[in-house]
Homo-oligomer: A and B are copies of this chain.
Amino acid sequence: MVDTKAECLTPEDVKARREADEPHSPVVRFGDDRPLRLDAGVDLRGLQIAYQTYGELNAARSNAILVCHALTGDQHAANLNPVTGKPGWWETLVGPGKPIDTERFFVICSNVLGGCMGTTGPASLRPDTGRAYGLEMPLVTIRDMVNAQAMLVDHLGIERLFCVAGGSMGGMQVLQWAASYPERMFAALPIATAARHSAQNIAFHEVGRQAVMADPEWHGGDYLNHKLTPHRGLAVARMAAHITYMSDQALHRKFGRRLQNRALPTFGFDADFQVESYLRHQGESFVQRFDANSYLYVTRAMDYFDLAEDYDGVLANAFRGSKTRFCVVSFTTDWLFPTEDSRAIVHALNASGASVSFAEIESDKGHDAFLLEEPELFAITRGFLDSAARAAGLPPLRAG
């Protein structure tokens, strides 16, 4: 078949696609004898997991922190991102001397199952056919992501993690870890998250998916095998999602009704307002780094997340008997995962008798606060890890 639209691929597309199979990070590939049994009821063979580590694992293998990324994050938590050339997504929190201190802890971050940065997902080439999975990739759940991470942790020879930490979808993974592998983690730090995805959040995700699937270049999901990319649909999806990551206050503070490089409106459909050109930029830069099908899969995994469901509808049962120490964090202006969602987690943890502390942080930055400069988040994270490390008997940080 002649690829008449090969010119649709930008150099960035090609670069981003290469990451799906040959990422700029270590990978572990499991043999066909080590399939991952998915919640969808099928075995995924030839699983590849791409990951980064920071710091050093101590001799007792007791200082590992698994950091779980959000919807469009990746394994590059604390190093320059190979696709965007920008800092890692959690460099605010992870690094030498940072709250998640890589001079003390061995930090692991892996690309989630269903992602597009080197862990098996719809953009990966199928080992059996050599063609991109596309929609032939089975759907994955948060639990599948966590089970894949557990295989990685096994592979790294770590029996028990000191902590699992993450925000948003990363926080969902933290909660699933706590439910699935309570004996394999000492502490848990779920931030700006929920034990189940709300109807409103499912609705926003559905809009994004419909935007992608409405783009003719999505091509029934098989665009990669036709050298196409549904740029426009994916950009619209990102724009809609991006609004939900910010608070009304933050948007107002950043942009208000200010016009973009002009004194008067154009009376046209150009980006008159700064907030419009900001959003367009968010959409355009996103499509250079993210696979559209991955967006479908990972949003779907979040939608399906309802931790209580596997425990007779009682969330507390998910944590029953857990010895893990929890620190739950929310932000006042986060309307995507409002404090109410965190409180439901805390109530369940209390009901289950688990050890939990809870902080609602005053911030006007909305959901994105967990990725940004938030001194209170830094202080809480540092304090929680320090106290947990003492309780776990980890040696104190050697004086520099």
Contacts and interface: CB of A to CB of B under 8 A. Distances in A.
B300 A199 contact: no
Interface residues of A, number: 56
A65 B203 CA distance: 38
A252 interface: yes
Interface in A207-257: 207, 209-211, 213-216, 232-233, 235-236, 239-240, 243, 246, 248, 251-252, 254-257
A219 to B, nearest CB: 13
Nearest to A135: B269
Nearest to A278: B203
A320 B299 CA distance: 51
A216 B216 contact: yes
A206 to B, nearest CB: 5
A126 interface: no
B273 A202 contact: yes
A239 B306 contact: no
Contact of A255 (B199, B204, B207, B209): B199
Nearest to A309: B257
Nearest to A296: B269
A248 B202 contact: no
B211 A267 contact: no
A296 B268 CA distance: 10
A279 B203 contact: yes
Contacts of A255: 199
Interface in A135-150: 135, 138-139
A236 B252 contact: no
Contact of A236 (B236, B257, B276): B236
Copies of this chain present in the complex amount to 2
Nearest to A277: B206
A139 B268 contact: yes
A269 B207 contact: no
Main SS of the interface on chain A? Answer: helix
A243 B296 contact: no
Interface in A243-297: 243, 246, 248, 251-252, 254-257, 265, 267-269, 271-273, 275-276, 279-280, 283, 296
Given A199-B256, A207-B240, A236-B210, A40 B267 contact: yes
B233 A202 contact: no
A214 B215 contact: yes
A252 B197 CA distance: 11
Contacts of A300: 269
Contacts of A39: 267
A303 interface: yes
B139 A206 contact: no
A199 B283 contact: no
Contacts of A203: 239, 243, 251, 275-276, 279
Contacts of A41: 267
A202 B276 contact: yes
A199 B209 CA distance: 24
17 contacts: A198-B251, A198-B252, A199-B254, A199-B256, A199-B275, A202-B275, A204-B243, A206-B275, A206-B279, A206-B280, A207-B240, A210-B236, A210-B239, A211-B211, A214-B232, A236-B236, A269-B296
Given A139-B267, A199-B256, A265-B304, 6 more contacts: A210-B235, A211-B211, A211-B236, A214-B233, A214-B235, A257-B306
Interface of A: 39-41, 135, 138-139, 196-200, 202-204, 206-207, 209-211, 213-216, 232-233, 235-236, 239-240, 243, 246, 248, 251-252, 254-257, 265, 267-269, 271-273, 275-276, 279-280, 283, 296, 300, 303-304, 306, 335
Nearest 5 A/B pairs, CB to CB: A214-B232, A139-B267, A199-B251, A40-B267, A206-B276
